[in-house]
Amino acid sequence: MDKRKAGSWCVTFFLVSVLQLPGSPGRAEVIRVVVERTEDVLDGREWGEAGAYEKLVGQIHFAFDPTNPANASIVDLRFATTNGNGMVVAWADFMVLQPKDPGSRRGVAWVEVSNRGGKASLRYFNRASRSTDPVTEEDFGDGLLLEEGFTIIWLGWQWDVPESDGLLKLHVPVARLPGEPIEGLVRADWTVDDPTEILHLGHRGHRAYGPISPDHPENQLTVRSGRMAPREVIPRERWWFLPEGGAPSGELDGAQLTRIALEGGFRAGSIYELVYRSQDPRVVGLGLAAIRDVISYAKYELDSVFPVTLGIAFGVSQTGRFLRHFLYQGFNTDEGGRKAFDGMLIHTAGAGRGSFNHRFGQPSRDAHRYSAFFYPTDLFPFTSSVQRDPVSDREDGLFAHQDPEDLPLVFYTNTGYEYWGRAGSLIHTSVSGTQDVPPLANERIYHLSSAQHSGWGFPPNEEARLPGNDIPVYRGNPVDLSFPLRALAIRLTQWVEGEREPPSSRYPRIADGTLVPPEGLAFPEIPGVAIPKTIHEAYRVDYGPQWWSEGIVHLQPPELRPPFPSQVSQVDGFGNEMAGVRGWELRAPIGTYAPWNLRWGAEGGAEELTDFRGTFIPLSVSEGQRQDWDDPRPSLEALYPDKDTYLERVRAATRDLAGEGFLLGSDAATAVLMAEERWEWLMGRGG
């Protein structure tokens, strides 16, 4: 199939151009595209057959019909202000990279659902530097996505993104009842690792809902010593609300109060939780509709500024969970009854969804073992296939509300961390945890063995070493996810284009003994290394009587019911995970790559999991050192007589991975260079 099949589209615009689209009664749509600036990428540098690229930056304006069935699941849409045509309007920031020559475009959109307003695709797939506005060679990396001819689209979908240059935001209306505001309870929590005087109500610096009144009787601050420890109410006179950058003021309205202070300060080792009364919830679910409508605009509107014929969505972590939520609520069918995305790469979402479509939703909030507790993230159902939960007697599936004709082809890629820290096993097991549930025909599940949630550089930082231990143990796991992700991006695109079937799913299974409860983990007894006694669990959570039917939270904090069982991948004698896509690091091991890490050194929860992080434990260099350390794992000397033997093992691993579809042939040399650097580091430090 000819990759450059987009045809001879042509759109001309100036420094600031506005494309006004005709309205379509009864259907939500993109109504206006404002292009504020266009730039040649790297002064017209050519990227293979795709040629030179251009960058478009501006805003996209949407109109949503509250009566359209495709929008029926958007919480509070009926309470949003409408324009003269009865439509709810919103607008979003966007950035697009596309080949300048319309005839060189592949016709495939790569739509990244931006994690907290950022842009990750070039970093994840091009090995580029982190940037919110790519302009330098480092920002574009090796150009893999550009050489493939993708039209790369970023769009703001999240209302609470911080005010910061380059972050993408969706501007949405508030919901109001006729003649009066909507009120409700909002919750914020903090795991305090270092003493502090002030805490921000928003998660990770995001925009926050303010209190209706600082003195409202429902405002309550509590403190506890652990995840499940009892809450202690802090007397109201000991804490107070603050505006940004100033002292308390009786002249400010509640919306301006976005921080809290505590008499004597917030102490390290404690978990603080604030519940307060707020008003004017945003129509958060419009973010789901905006992502749906931007790809429909690109695919189906003849006047599209960035025309394509196929669309692939990419989401990582928060936005991987967003895409699971998107599918669960049926958003892959647009307002015209058409299929939105043709493919999805859902990365490191585990079994989660999120706060993407409920009243007073805070999309940045997640849920970890020891931070951001019990937000609406790890929610039944978890598998695409319909299951019945015998405890709640609910029957549901991730795809149960999506028109089967409009289901995309989906890759789920999870690391070992998602099994420990995001209940990842639930996407392919029964709710009882006793049986495997295979993916459907349109799905593949790839477990990226032994990796942590996101990349970590090499060599490890000595400051991140476990103190007082002979065997070096480092916080941070250097398994490089870019190798399988780059290959899988290409294989997913080929599947979407109908050219080639992808590799079969690879993930741990109950049936073959590679998926086990945490207590069944056969981790080697390495002196000084404690293995987790806890794992993140998805609870059956009661948010109140209107949660399931209307997306309204009444119980803050929520009430917990029995959890679903979480399981993990079994490990080999090195402590590396056995099942899934085992990268070259595991096929030619120089250490143990654990996807979990404990909070050693923290004031509280020292035996709990560190968010997102794994652990790296190098092997001993020599047999003598191994014996001195009493290390049960083999030494490098026993495994590889010399560096050349080790590098040949790495080369063999890359050949096998390329043949299996999990590594690009062009990436093999990069892997060998990385392996050589790691060998030299180990030999140079003598363990």
What's the whole-model pTM score?
Answer: 0.95
The pLDDT value given to residue 518: 97
pLDDT, averaged per 10 consecutive residues of the chain (687 residues), comes to 36 41 56 97 97 98 97 98 96 98 97 97 97 97 98 98 93 96 98 97 95 96 97 98 73 81 97 98 98 98 96 98 98 97 98 98 95 96 98 97 97 98 98 98 98 92 94 97 98 97 98 98 97 96 96 97 98 98 98 97 95 97 96 97 98 98 98 98 80
Burial (CB count <10 Å: 0-12, 13-18, 19+), residue 43: exposed
pLDDT at position 17 is 47
* Strand partners of residue 91: 61, 171
What is the DSSP track for 183-216? Answer: EEEEEEEEEESS-EEEEESSGGG---PPPS-TT-
pLDDT of 165? 85
Beta 343-347 vs 409-415: how paired, if at all? parallel
The count of other CB atoms within 10 Å of the CB of residue 516 is 17
Give SS3 for 31: strand
What is the per-residue DSSP string for 113-178? E-GGG---HHHHHH-PPP-SS--SHHHHTT-HHHHTT-EEEEE---TT--S-TT---EE-PBBEET
- For residue 245, what pLDDT is reported? 75
pLDDT at 264: 97
Cβ 287 vs Cβ 77: under 8 Å: no
Alpha-carbon span 42 to 136, nearest angstrom? 7
| Residue 230: other Cβ atoms inside 10 A | 8
CA angle 663, 666, 667 (to 5 degrees): 55
> CA–CA separation, 504 vs 377, rounded Å?
28
What are the structure tokens assigned to 298, written together? 């690109």
- Residue in this structure with the two tokens 């420990």, named with its chain if needed: 420
Question: Tokens at residue 377, please?
Answer: 């993230």
pLDDT at 13: 32
Q: Rounded CA gap, 172 and 159, in Å?
A: 7
| Rg of the chain, C-alpha, whole Å | 25
Return d(Cα 602, Cα 135) in angstroms, integer.
39
93 by DSSP, 3-state: which? strand
Q: Any bridge partners for residue 63, and if so which?
A: 29, 89
Question: What is the predicted pLDDT for the residue at 6?
Answer: 36
Alpha carbons 389 and 423: distance in angstroms, whole number? 16
The answer to whether the beta carbons of residues 308 and 299 sit under 8 Å apart is: yes
Residues 6+ apart with CB under 8 A from 673: none
- The contacts found for 130-134 with CB under 8 angstroms, 24 or more apart, are 131/166, 132/165, 132/166, 132/167, 133/57, 133/95, 133/165, 133/166, 134/41, 134/55, 134/97
For residue 242, what are its two tokens?
């603050």
